[in-house]
Amino acid sequence: MSEIQINTTQNVNINFTLASVGERVVAHIIDLIIKFAYGMIVIWIFRSMFDNTNWMRDLDDWSLISIYIILLFPAFVYTLVLESLFEGQTLGKKVMKIRVVKIDGYQASFVDYLIRWVFRIVDLNMLSGFIALISVIVTEKGQRLGDMTAGTSVISLKNRVLISHTILEEIGDNYKPLFPSVIKLSDNDMRIIKETFVIAKRARDYDTLNKLRAKVEEVIEIRSDQDTIPFIDVIIKDYNFYTQNM
């Protein structure tokens, strides 16, 4: 599978596996089925309740169309709302374990999701999605037009669910933390730190490890005589200790 390299806010490069075209297509189909099912159910309920009422018979075509637009509006904004709430995932993307991310290392914002959603008119609705399909295939980072405009891409989350790939760390009941100032870090900071630490340690990339150590020391305002690998390992465990016991 193709990979994308993202430079994180810690100024460290991390490789992610791009979601395949097949995964994105299947996720899109799942979302379409969900939206279609919602529309069918809502309209069926509405017609069952009001079809034989006097006020319904008195409605002109435009009024009826307006009612249907209101009823179907949640399906229209489905992708935008869910990607904003679930950090780049719709129900289809959750099933396929893929996610929208920013390629500059920052957290995608509502504006980014909005840009992707607006460009769906061109990407997915014109020529039955042919434009999006070709764009994802030919671009280096697997981007449709909305992704290129928003600075995003879609990555695969498969094989990234082990505890070593999360901010969680196994610590014993008798663990004694060393650096209380680790609480200055956020969960997103710690996720980036741990991902970078695991990848760099496996690759024996000591230059990246030292840069990561320097950045951590700067943020939490401490200095330590420990070697780099044990130091970062303690930072991760300390963060877990304090956040789990708050």
Domain carrying residue 106: 3-156
Tokens of residue 214, six digits: 């320097």
Does residue 46 have a pLDDT over 70?
Answer: yes
User: According to the model, what pLDDT value does residue 146 have?
Assistant: 92
Asked if 60 and 140 sit in the same domain, the reply is yes
Does residue 78 have a pLDDT over 80?
Answer: yes
Nearest to 144 by CA among 157, 155, 154, 156: 154
Does residue 204 have a pLDDT over 70?
Answer: yes
**CA 95-244-242 angle, 5° bins:** 130
Residues 6 or more apart whose Cβ sits within 8 Å of residue 47: none
Once rounded to an integer, what is the mean pLDDT over residues 198-220? 90
Does residue 54 have a pLDDT over 90?
Answer: no
The answer to whether residues 193 and 238 touch, using CB atoms and an 8 Å cutoff, is no
Better-predicted residue by pLDDT, 113 or 165 = 113
Domain total for the chain? Answer: 2
**Domain-ending residue, one of 137, 156, 175:** 156
The answer to whether residues 180 and 235 touch, using CB atoms and an 8 Å cutoff, is no
Q: How many CB atoms lie within 10 A of CB 7?
A: 12
84-88, 173-177, 191-195, 203-207: segment of lowest average pLDDT: 173-177
Does residue 246 have a pLDDT over 60?
Answer: no
Asked if 240 and 120 sit in the same domain, the reply is no
Better-predicted residue by pLDDT, 239 or 172 = 239
**Domain-ending residue, one of 156, 179, 206:** 156
Asked if 205 and 136 sit in the same domain, the reply is no
Does residue 23 have a pLDDT over 90?
Answer: yes
**Domain-ending residue, one of 156, 179, 210:** 156
Once rounded to an integer, what is the mean pLDDT over residues 145-174? 71
Asked if 49 and 150 sit in the same domain, the reply is yes
Asked if 35 and 146 sit in the same domain, the reply is yes
Regarding beta strands 3-7 and 13-17, do their DSSP bridges make them parallel or antiparallel, or are they unpaired?
Answer: antiparallel
User: According to the model, what pLDDT value does residue 161 have?
Assistant: 41
Nearest to 236 by CA among 159, 170, 160, 173: 170
pLDDT band at residue 245 using 50, 70 and 90 as cut-offs: low
Asked if 190 and 232 sit in the same domain, the reply is yes
87-96, 153-162, 221-230, 237-246: segment of lowest average pLDDT: 153-162
Asked if 118 and 171 sit in the same domain, the reply is no
130-144, 165-179, 206-220: segment of lowest average pLDDT: 165-179
Once rounded to an integer, what is the mean pLDDT over residues 122-144? 81
Does residue 61 have a pLDDT over 60?
Answer: yes
The answer to whether residues 190 and 167 touch, using CB atoms and an 8 Å cutoff, is yes
The mean pLDDT value of the chain amounts to 84
Asked if 26 and 102 sit in the same domain, the reply is yes
Does residue 169 have a pLDDT over 90?
Answer: no
Nearest to 151 by CA among 93, 211, 106, 87: 106
pLDDT band at residue 6 using 50, 70 and 90 as cut-offs: low
Q: How large a percentage of the chain has pLDDT more than 70?
A: 86
Better-predicted residue by pLDDT, 12 or 186 = 186
Asked if 108 and 42 sit in the same domain, the reply is yes
